[in-house]
Structure 1
Amino acid sequence: MRITKEYDERRNEILDTAEKLFHIKGYENCTVNDILKEIGIAKGTFYHYFRSKEEVLDAVVSRYTDIVMSKANEVLKIDSISSEEKFMRVFMAMRITSEVDGDVLNSIHKSENVLLHQKTLSSIVTAMAPILVKVIEEGIEKKVWSCRYPLQYMQIFLASSLTLIDEGIFELNADSQMKIMPALISILEKMLDVNEDFFMKLLTEYWQR
């Protein structure tokens, strides 16, 4: 008996399977045929939903980005916290260890998942920079800080932060990471023209959570 499924259900099944196989085999070693075999569908069915394996990859990356953006946008709605607290909460929204299986996150760092890794970092920087800009603009309006190039500074800050503390790019031990973060925060303070240690207490609190 032929089993038919609703569009979104079948699409999500393909994505769930592909994500699992990328974790097990690595994106580079996983083929469309591997996905078909795992689900038990015809090639035509796959291409009804996705034009290529890379389009599946983009959809998997979008899943991660959507989780981060959803968390960050929820923070934007909070009016009862300071601008600096809001900035740190939005920034820390990029920690998705409670929403995504740890083994899956670790698999992103495999050499055979380099494209997945690269696309994930790029997608998050692109999505999160404008959200952080909203926080920056709120702080400017409240005269908490000033910032000459909000979008460009946030792109630089995010790209630097995500790259330097990413274990898949730089092999830093815990001590080195603890030294990198204060340095990044110091750069942020200069970008926003605020006093030294403006964010440091908040950083310590969030880093220990």
Structure 2
Amino acid sequence: MSRVVKSPQERRAEFIAAANELFFSKGYANTSVNDLIQHVGVSKGAFYHHFDSKQAVLEAWSDDMLAQYRQVIGGLVDDPNLSALTKWALLLRRTNQWEIGQKAIMLGFVKIINMDENLQLKHNFMQKVSALLAGYYEAILRQGSQEQVFDVPFPAVTARLMVTVLNGFSEALTQKMLQAEHIQDLFDGVVDEVKATQQILERMVAAKAGSMPLIDDELLRAWFTGE
């Protein structure tokens, strides 16, 4: 039987898909490089041609997730037909819908990158996410200032500070999720934290109260209760 020759991109994608499945089904700690190799059905040399470790596959997986997110957002921020507040609402809604649409994978990923052995990867990943979001927010803030719905003398700095606030909210929530037996138990407390975080962001940019929603009740309930 002849050997199937695939492009480097195809083979890389196969290993990432294998990691996605095995890390979730077996757990990251219980998945070995040999497990990944056997799942894909190639030689050990083929694996090490693309990756130097299991963690390198995880890093590639995280990069792929960011690429998927960029596609989800698409050209939204640059759309000349949308107002700044509409862009903000759509940006947050698309983000939430994307995350909820793959909730099990997202929760598994969060658990993996918070493992002690992966903290450097988490740091690198969060830096990439922060830079991406800061760019989106800055563009929206500049447009909103022109439309006089925001008062932001320093949009680049303010965008980074907004990311810091949201990262803090996300990190606190992540730690609660990792410690909770059932994430449904967190729902009531999260509602208050979402409202407080939204209020902080609106005050940072002098926006009208209630004009910058983070997540609507329906999506929030779907994330924490599955309803």
TM-score normalised to the size of structure 1?
0.82
Instruction: Give the stretch that moved more between structures: 106-115 or 72-81.
Output: 106-115
Residues 65 and 111 of structure 1, relative CA distance in 2, 3 Å threshold = closer
2:151 is aligned, of 122, 128, 146, to: 146
How many equivalent pairs are there?
205
| Residue in structure 2 matched with residue 168 of structure 1 by the alignment | 177
What are the Cα deviations for residues 7-62 of structure 1, in whole angstroms up to 9, with x where unaligned? 22211111101111111222233221111122221111111112222221111011
Distance 2:21 2:99 in 1: 17
Residues 151 and 170 of structure 1, relative CA distance in 2, 3 Å threshold = farther
Distance 1:19 1:197 in 2: 38
Distance 1:104 1:208 in 2: 20
Q: Secondary structure at the match of 1:93?
A: helix
**1:17 and 1:38 in contact (8 A); partners too:** yes
Q: Does residue 157 of structure 1 match 2:165?
A: yes
- Structure 1: stretches of 5+ with no match in the other structure: none
- Structure 2: stretches of 5+ with no match in the other structure: 220-227
Q: Secondary structure at the match of 1:66?
A: helix
Distance 2:112 2:101 in 1: 23
| Identity among equivalent pairs (%) | 22
| Residue in structure 2 matched with residue 197 of structure 1 by the alignment | 210
Residues 177 and 90 of structure 1, relative CA distance in 2, 3 Å threshold = same
Quote the RMSD (CA, aligned, Å).
2.7
| Residue in structure 2 matched with residue 118 of structure 1 by the alignment | 122
Give 2:134's aligned amino acid. A
Q: How big is the shift at 1:144?
A: 1.8
Structure (1/2) with the larger helix percentage: 2
Q: How big is the shift at 1:175?
A: 1.2
| Residue in structure 2 matched with residue 137 of structure 1 by the alignment | 142
Instruction: Give the stretch that moved more between structures: 16-25 or 118-127.
Output: 118-127
Q: Mapping of 1:60-71 within 5 angstroms?
A: 60-71=61-72
Distance 2:131 2:179 in 1: 21
TM-score normalised to the size of structure 2?
0.77
Q: How big is the shift at 1:77?
A: 3.5
